[in-house]
Structure 1
Amino acid sequence: MKLGKSRLPSPLDILKSNHFEPKSQNYSSSLQRVPEINEAKSVSNPLYNLLPEIQNPNNIANLVCSTLKLKDNARLSLSLLHKTMQEQGHLSHIGNREISRILLRCQSDSSTALTFFHWVKFDLGLNLNTENCCIIVHILVWSRKFSQAMKILSELIKLDEDVSRSLDVFKTLLLCTDVCNWDPVVFDMLMKAYLKMGMVKESYRVYRKIVKLGFVPSVVTINCLLNGLSKMNYGEKCWEIYGTMGRIGLHPNSCTFNILIHVVCKEGNVEKVNGFLEKMEEEGFDPDIVTYNMLMDSYCKKGRLKDAIYLYDIMFRRGVVPDLLTYTALINGFCKGGNVKDAHRLFSTMIHRGLKPDLRAFNTLLVGYCREGMMQESRSLLHDMIRDGIHPDDFTCRTLVEGYHKQDCLISALNLVVELQRFGFSVPQDVYHYLGIALCRENRPFAAKSLLEGIACPSYEPNPEILCNLIGSLCQCNSVEEAMYLKAGMESKNMLLDLGTYKAIICCLCKLSRCKEAVNLTREMVESGVRPDIEICRALVNGLCQKRDFSEAECLLRFLAKEFQVLDIVSYNELVRILCEKGDLAKLMEFQDSMKKVGFTPNGLTCKYVIGGLQSAMGIQKDSIQ
């Protein structure tokens, strides 16, 4: 923290002025009355002076300070004083104003001040206001007890956050400098406290205020702030701070430049990257391994592999030795460009140079292999990983399973899962989920069922999505009994069935000529709040028509149209066709009138069936006359 030599003006002057010159670190203010920011109503009844000193509420501050002078027994004496004041009924006279006065009278001894602060907070259980906390923070910082001061600052900021920022910690800290010893480093600590609490925007606001008042924060704090802003994608604010650093005479270090390099990389402006590198070198800072790694990682992610390789060559020329992150970034670049052979060659080079690949390096090359369909190489790399003592993570398992799936090798994916289980590695639940659904969609329900039953994790519980897919797949294979068994299991666990699951079972039952069960299941579906659709209507009507149960089919068609506006013209025409084949014209006319009332409109195919039916009926009549 850089300090000036001029005397601090009063807080009111500071708040009104746009310029502030910090005072010397050795400045010690005279003990003035604390500004009444949030003070309680003071005791001022003159009749109290007729009472003995220990019973006079006006002497509370004196009594407490006298007690605190007994350093060896300060805590014990305060406890006795607490008891006496409680008996005299004077506890109500200790307000925030008296607390501040006592703290200021104890500021030359930070330990005593802290003892009193804790006594008020924990023993008396009083609510300390912002002013009380800021005074003790100033006292502790002046005495170089930074960790204790930071703890109180953090608690004060948490309070500030809880009350929707109705407090202004910075303003109160500033006002309290008018009445007690203080060190400008307290504002630097306030920035750090906000950052520690994850309140990056608030730290940035404090930075702008203290710079406006003439203070210069430490470069370490500035770097922490830049890092926080960078993570929140506030690149403009980062460049604003960097510009301010030059104006206030604060010199950036290599960490500052690396953070800003990261900001430039996120912005994706290559020209700005090159210009900033030149600026960095003009300032006397040579890019280090961190700088090169960030740049190469950014280039590789954006597909600028040639630029990354160029930087790789520059590193060797400048004597910067590539590390594991360097090689991993380049391997990723080669794999993204489809050049897996060079990625593998670089991987081997990295090992030859004494670098042991970590999980990220293995996974990066693994993704490249799987993307190119090189599953045999992927399996070999997995074995190398395990041999080196590196446990495959969720990403490793998912990548391999998806790779096999893309190559239509789900059985190999199943074998991989079994192999990992045999090695003692836990397979993530989402991999089981992914693989189970993939098997169902390829109409391999029994393989999926076997997979779920063989899961080693006792806590694993298949979710409704995979069970519904399994039911659908079983129905595709006409294994309706297995599907019904799974359905019953879902219902016993209060799992809701969706329309697709009901539809799969109903259609399968109709296909197997079990129409009565299908109709009953449809009623159950409707009662559970699931609306039938056209496919269910068509399956039911077709099934009933095949069994020549015309009246049941007609009732069902009318019910679905009237209650759910399911108007399936295909089912309607199927019933018309059957009636026309029977030659029952009276029944045909009655059926059409009935269907018209619920919303059905005949189409061309309907007319064709009716005309055919009329011609057939007229032919029969003509033959009978002859």
Structure 2
Amino acid sequence: MLVSLFCEIVSPTGSGRPEILALMKQLRRTCATHALSTASNCLIKAYGICYDAQATLDMLSHLCRLGYVPSAWACKFVLKFVAHSNGPEMVVAAYDQMKRSQLTLDVDSLNIVTGSLFKAKKADEAFRLWVEMIEVGVKPHIYCKMGNALKAVDHCESMESHGIKINCYIVGYLLQCLRKLGKTSEVIVHFKKFRDSGMHLDKVVYNIAMHAYCKLGNMNEAVNLLNEMVARGLTPDGIHYTCLIHGYCLKGEMQKAQQEFVKMLEEDIKPDIVTCNVLATGFGRSGLVMEVFNLLKDMMDLGLEPTSLIYGVAIDSLCRQGNLSEAEELFYIVEEKGIDNIEALYSAMVCGYLNSGWTDDAYKLFLRVSQQGHLLDNFSCSKLINGLCRDGNVKGASDVLSMMLKQNVVPDIVLYTPLISAYCQTGDICTALFWFNDMVGRGHSPDATVCTVLMDGYCRTDQFQEACKLFDQMITLNIKPDVVAYTVLLNGAVKETLQRRGQGIAEEWRHYLRAKHQKLLSSMEGEDIEPDVQCYTVLIDGLCKAEFLEEAQVLFDEILQKGLTPDVYAYTVLITGYCSHGEITKAEVLFQEMKDKLMTPDVYAYRALTYGYLSQGEIVKAEDLFQEMSQMEDKGMSSDVLTGSVSQQKTLKS
């Protein structure tokens, strides 16, 4: 309302414009400070609505001359207005005017100015201001935010060579920017450069360099830096020791990590929760259960309350050691006692059940804690959904996802994919589509994996054309299909072609399949995608079923020529093809080749060759092969499917 009133007063058509300064002068004598600030802000905004940037800047100056101290918001408003309307040169002029009025600018205002200085090609001035900002504790958003930290370092070095002094605070900020950008090696290079220049560096800068060495796995240099700090009169604190402990944990050198922890205690440096979390996680990953529990005891002695993360590590470690009952006992004790962030504890126990193969117990715990209003983390939910899908409990996996949505947690695409895949594998394409559409409706862009899963579902339910439509949509949306996607379509083409044959379409079905495969292979070549063994196997299977056996053999040889290794399935589809067309000798050669390569033929290879012998009337060979397969039963191969056929042939011959 006040902005509207001021707009009426100061507008070019208004009657009260000359009196506005007199009004503001009167307000300054009679109003409280906060009311004055509000009035000046509203007046500046009104000028921004009614006039140009120069007029608005002039009004700000008039207020200063009246004794007003415009707020940081007002200064930012004017600078932003000037930047949008007049360009960088006037922003710099406005900043100079504000400096003369001794106005205080916030970080956003200073960033507008530095950005304008760079645009005006006044980099030295921009970096002078940038240095001033850092020295007073303001963190600028300029080069380092944009990812040009190396350029910022070069400018600082150039400024120093021109006598513009920089200090360890600026160096620390630059190195931190490099670290956040993942430029770990550059952190070390520039740390050495600044250190060797004789500049005084503080503990923060040393910690950043130590972190970089730890991340690169160079623990000797990290320790050397700690010793160098001490030699320079800087006393290491818990952050430096935690850095070393984390580095050793990353390398799996838990004994050395524990030694650093003990050294902290000996030097009377109290570890904090972060230190203990890092060490506990390292112990857990290395399977050192007793060390985790000893750390819990140490924390109690130090007066530190163990976090849910550390209890979770203990539970996970017990489960991985096969001590599920002990993990459950600890879980119930901690749950009953109560703890902050208890969801981490629940997540650990669910993962513990899953790691032990107790999927039903994990699911029951999930349901219980969800009904209490708690929710597991995404990793645990993803693992639970995968476990339920693997065990055939697709309904349970669907319930987990539904429960997440009910609690306003939007799952990521990784959580949707196994559920969509499970429904596709069961042939329930409608429910798979429901979850796919739900995923897209919640703002997730499909990736190649989930699209391929859905295409496979279409092919399984005899909807090859729908799979092709989805493939075309992938291309339109710039989702690059991989070799798996092409393999699914190639296999779908085989299935569709066999249906055409069953519907009575004559010789043309064979050439239809070849044309489909050639089109897909040309598309693969255009995308620079090479077929893998699975892709070749599908192609060979299709050619065998279409009675192009010579071409199938050529493809099989191509696998070997490319340095790939055909697996059992590749051999089996070609053996089956030869046996189906009475070329038993060629099938026998391939079968023996598998054995020579120490590959165990599967039941389908045995079945194909046995039927081949039976069709040729070679009962003895069939019997011998049948007996050989019977000896494989201990390895999980069932021969029952062939028993009737062999016996029937023997009876017929007798």
Give the TM-score normalised by the residue count of structure 2.
Answer: 0.57
Q: What is the aligned partner in structure 1 of residue 455 from structure 2?
A: 499
Contact in 1 for aligned 2:135/2:169 (Cα 8 Å): no
Q: What is the aligned partner in structure 2 of residue 390 from structure 1?
A: 340
Q: Tell me the distance in 1 between the aligned counterparts of 2:394 and 2:76.
A: 67
- Given candidates 601, 606, 620, the residue that maps to 2:581 is 606
Q: What is the aligned partner in structure 1 of residue 145 from structure 2?
A: 198
Q: Tell me the distance in 2 between the aligned counterparts of 1:425 and 1:93.
A: 53
Q: What is the aligned partner in structure 2 of residue 240 from structure 1?
A: 190
Q: What is the aligned partner in structure 2 of residue 351 from structure 1?
A: 300
Q: Tell me the distance in 2 between the aligned counterparts of 1:492 and 1:199.
A: 36
Structure 1 counterpart of 2:111, one-letter code: S
- Given candidates 304, 308, 324, the residue that maps to 2:273 is 324
Contact in 2 for aligned 1:328/1:364 (Cα 8 Å): no
Q: What is the aligned partner in structure 2 of residue 168 from structure 1?
A: 121
Structure 2 counterpart of 1:303, one-letter code: G
Q: Tell me the distance in 2 between the aligned counterparts of 1:347 and 1:279.
A: 32
Matched position secondary structure for 1:346: helix
Q: Tell me the distance in 2 between the aligned counterparts of 1:523 and 1:281.
A: 72
**Alignment pair present for 1:410 and 2:385:** no
Contact in 1 for aligned 2:238/2:271 (Cα 8 Å): yes
Structure 1, gaps ≥5 residues long: 1-63, 476-482, 507-520, 575-601, 617-626
Cα 1:536/1:319, change in 2 over 3 Å: same
Deviation per CA, 1:175-194: give whole Å up to 9, x if none: xx9xxxx9994685698424
**Alignment pair present for 1:423 and 2:372:** yes
Cα 1:142/1:271, change in 2 over 3 Å: farther
Deviation at 1:154, TM superposition (A): 1.4
Contact in 2 for aligned 1:370/1:378 (Cα 8 Å): yes
Q: Tell me the distance in 1 between the aligned counterparts of 2:347 and 2:206.
A: 37
Deviation per CA, 1:486-507: give whole Å up to 9, x if none: 367579979877332134335x
Deviation per CA, 1:214-265: give whole Å up to 9, x if none: 23234434333332233333554555356546746x5333333333332332
Structure index of larger Rg:
1
Q: Tell me the distance in 2 between the aligned counterparts of 1:420 and 1:237.
A: 45
Structure 2 counterpart of 1:208, one-letter code: E
Q: What is the aligned partner in structure 2 of residue 511 from structure 1?
A: none
Contact in 2 for aligned 1:191/1:203 (Cα 8 Å): no
Q: Tell me the distance in 2 between the aligned counterparts of 1:365 and 1:425.
A: 21
- Given candidates 522, 528, 542, the residue that maps to 1:568 is 542
**Alignment pair present for 1:259 and 2:216:** no
Q: Tell me the distance in 2 between the aligned counterparts of 1:188 and 1:568.
A: 72
Deviation at 1:157, TM superposition (A): 3.5
Q: What is the aligned partner in structure 2 of residue 470 from structure 1?
A: 422
Q: Tell me the distance in 1 between the aligned counterparts of 2:385 and 2:71.
A: 66
Structure 2 counterpart of 1:412, one-letter code: D
Q: Which residues of 2 match residues 181-580 of structure 1 at below 5 A?
A: 185=132, 188=135, 192-194=139-141, 198-199=145-146, 201=149, 203-232=152-181, 233-237=183-187, 240=190, 243-244=193-194, 247=197, 250-386=199-335, 387-393=337-343, 399-428=348-377, 431-448=380-397, 457=406, 465-475=417-427, 483=428, 486=431, 498-506=454-462, 521=463, 533-534=490-491, 537=494, 541=498, 551=504, 559-564=512-517, 568-572=542-546
Q: What is the aligned partner in structure 1 of residue 565 from structure 2?
A: none
Give the TM-score normalised by the residue count of structure 1.
Answer: 0.59
Structure 2, gaps ≥5 residues long: 1-17, 29-35, 441-450, 473-487, 519-538, 549-576, 585-611, 618-654
Q: What is the aligned partner in structure 2 of residue 624 from structure 1?
A: none
Contact in 2 for aligned 1:245/1:251 (Cα 8 Å): yes
Cα 1:380/1:421, change in 2 over 3 Å: farther
Contact in 1 for aligned 2:252/2:286 (Cα 8 Å): yes
Deviation at 1:199, TM superposition (A): 4.7
**Alignment pair present for 1:156 and 2:101:** no
Figure out how many residues of one structure are paired with residues of the other and give that number. 482
Q: Tell me the distance in 2 between the aligned counterparts of 1:334 and 1:115.
A: 51
Cα 1:346/1:112, change in 2 over 3 Å: closer
Deviation per CA, 1:309-345: give whole Å up to 9, x if none: 2222322332222332333233233223321122122
Q: What is the aligned partner in structure 1 of residue 652 from structure 2?
A: none
Structure 1 counterpart of 2:258, one-letter code: I
Deviation at 1:151, TM superposition (A): 4.3
Deviation per CA, 1:590-612: give whole Å up to 9, x if none: xxxxxxxxxxxx95752559x99
Contact in 2 for aligned 1:358/1:390 (Cα 8 Å): yes
Higher helix share: 2
Cα 1:505/1:194, change in 2 over 3 Å: closer
Q: Tell me the distance in 1 between the aligned counterparts of 2:282 and 2:437.
A: 51
Cα 1:94/1:380, change in 2 over 3 Å: same
Matched position secondary structure for 2:234: coil
Percent of aligned pairs with the same residue?
Answer: 16
Deviation per CA, 1:526-546: give whole Å up to 9, x if none: 6776985447746985x999x
Q: Tell me the distance in 1 between the aligned counterparts of 2:237 and 2:470.
A: 66
Structure 2 counterpart of 1:486, one-letter code: T
Cα 1:246/1:214, change in 2 over 3 Å: farther
- The Cα RMSD (Å) is 5.8
Cα 1:224/1:553, change in 2 over 3 Å: same
Structure 1 counterpart of 2:417, one-letter code: E
> Greater relative contact order (Cα 8 A, min sep 6): structure 1 or 2?
1
